[in-house]
Homo-oligomer: A and B are copies of this chain.
Amino acid sequence: MALPSRVKIVEVSPRDGLQNEKEFVPTDIKVELVDRLSAAGFPNVEAASFVSPKWVPQMADGADVMARIQRRPGTIYSVLTPNMKGFEGALAAGADEIVIFGAASEAFSQKNINCSIAESIARFEPVVQAAREAGIRVRGSISCALGCPYQGEVPVEAVVDVAQRYLAMQVDEIDVADTIGVGTPKRVREVMTAVTRVVDPARISGHFHDTYGQALANILAALESGISIFHTSVAGLGGCPYAKGATGNVATEDVLYMLRGLDIETGVDFDAVVDIGQWMSSHLNRKGSSRAGNAIAAKRAA
């Protein structure tokens, strides 16, 4: 099976990785994290979130982070925008890309935002419209695409339906996200095959969590389904609220290690990423959850 020769890694640690940290991470550290990631060669860094600080206090300094980072030419800096107010913040901050989001699970949508999937996506229409007028890229995320903490199984058709709604709104990129990390390779293939029937695979990204240890196998299955954009988080930063103590986002180091072995180009400096993971973990005063990162750091120390 022919795998893509090049993969785009979207580094999500500054936003998706840090948002659940209880201790506030100083703005200086966030800025340094974003700058080190862009310097390491990531073509896309999810840098901040323009959500209400009441909801996510950790992300309250998004405007400061965006103002203080060193913009690297060619790097796409993405920010999460839940609504029009968030979009205005993103626009003022000079974001290159905004991220909107909806779930493929009706139960999740009702429980979390008290409205149907269809309504939740429709609410983003003015945001997408405004972004397009401002020449800002739009990424639409489909959460719970491989399973839901409330309803369990999520039909493939529901994922395709959300993808089509995003497509109708002309978003640039669509994330298929395994929010709780329950997916396995067979299901990944089924979902990716169904979604790539309606959306150009070059516009689809895979966002896998490693909660059940499945993320790398799922990425391999997605690569075999023609997907070439993946979201990763250095040192596996980002917890999963549904499984205390379990890991969340797949670790960037583990993914880069696998891609290098598959002869797939990313343009990213692997050794620099291992350094960033160790630095960030030491700042957070805990061991990171990247197996490749920890193994290499241990070898270096030996």
Cβ-based interface call for A57 (8 A): no
Looking at the assembled complex, report how far the CB atom of A211 sits from the nearest CB atom of chain B, in whole angstroms.
5
* Across the A-B interface, the 4 shortest Cβ-Cβ residue pairs: A184-B261, A213-B291, A213-B254, A246-B295
Contact across chains for B294 and A210 when beta carbons are under 8 A apart: no
For residue A243, which residues in chain B have a CB less than 8 angstroms away from its CB?
Answer: 294-295, 298-299
Looking at the assembled complex, report how far the CB atom of A87 sits from the nearest CB atom of chain B, in whole angstroms.
35
Query: Using a CB–CB distance below 8 Å, which chain A residues touch chain B?
Result: 1, 181, 183-187, 210-214, 216-217, 219-221, 240, 242-247, 251, 253-254, 257-258, 260-263, 287, 290-292, 294-295, 298-299, 301-302
Q: Which residue of B lies closest to A254 (CB)?
A: B213
Contact across chains for B219 and A216 when beta carbons are under 8 A apart: no
For residue A217, which residues in chain B have a CB less than 8 angstroms away from its CB?
Answer: 216-217, 219-220, 258
Q: Which of A181, A211, A291 has the most CB of B within 10 A?
A: A291
Q: Which residue of B lies closest to A302 (CB)?
A: B244
Given A185-B262, A219-B217, A212 and B257 contact (CB-CB distance below 8 Å): yes
Complex alpha-carbon distance, A291 and B184, angstroms: 14
Given A213-B292, A245-B298, A246-B295, A257 and B220 contact (CB-CB distance below 8 Å): no
